[in-house]
Amino acid sequence: MSFLANLGILPSRNPADFVPARNSVPFIVGKRYSDGDVQRHIFSLHREFADSWRICGEFLCVAVNPSNIDESSYSIDDDVVAEYAGMIRCGSVPPPIVLDYDGDFIDGGHRHASAIMAGLTEIVALVQVEDIQDPPDDE
């Protein structure tokens, strides 16, 4: 499976990215979450998010080895990854990454790469439970 082309979203370099936002959901492995919960999670990390149409349906919160997830195809800033990996090595826990039904990234490419760099063997992911259709073309 291939990843969607460049999402155009880069997380901020703010250490607060590794702390749940005030209104964020405390995600629990094994539970399902609504698209609204997942949208609030992503929007708490990114002021603008271009692919919000992809966040629909239910998502299952799972613990997964980051090495079992293909690398994101959108642009990854190596400096951001190194900074996040340093934060993880100091004890910070990155927020969940978000994957679609096929395992393609919706959000979290930098967090995923930094988890691998830091040597984590388990991260939390929100995975879409059902496949969704592409948005209709505007005519």
Interacting residues of 2 by C-beta distance below 8 A, sequence separation 6+: 73, 104
pLDDT of the chain, 139 residues: tens digit per residue = 222 222 222 333 444 433 444 445 578 888 888 998 999 899 888 878 778 888 888 899 999 899 998 887 778 899 999 999 999 999 988 999 999 988 899 999 999 999 999 999 999 999 998 877 665 565 5
Please report whether residue 2 resides in a domain: no
Please report whether residue 106 resides in a domain: yes
Q: What CATH number should be reported for the domain holding residue 46?
A: 3.90.1530
Please report whether residue 58 resides in a domain: yes
Q: What is the pLDDT of residue 54?
A: 86
Please report whether residue 87 resides in a domain: yes
Give burial (CB, 10 Å; 0-12/13-18/19+) of 81: buried
Please report whether residue 10 resides in a domain: no
State how far the Cα of 101 lies from the Cα of 42, in Å rounded to an integer: 17
Question: Under DSSP, is residue 49 helix (H, G, I), strand (E, B) or coil?
Answer: coil
Please report whether residue 38 resides in a domain: yes
State how far the Cα of 113 lies from the Cα of 81, in Å rounded to an integer: 6
Q: What is the pLDDT of residue 22?
A: 44
Please report whether residue 9 resides in a domain: no
Tally of domains within the chain: 1
Q: What is the pLDDT of residue 9?
A: 26
Q: What is the pLDDT of residue 117?
A: 96
Find out whether 42 and 106 touch, Cβ atoms under 8 Å: yes
Domain span at residue 46 reads 22-128
Q: Rounded to 5 degrees, what angle do the CA atoms 21, 42, 33 make? A: 90
Please report whether residue 109 resides in a domain: yes
State how far the Cα of 4 lies from the Cα of 73, in Å rounded to an integer: 7
Interacting residues of 138 by C-beta distance below 8 A, sequence separation 6+: none
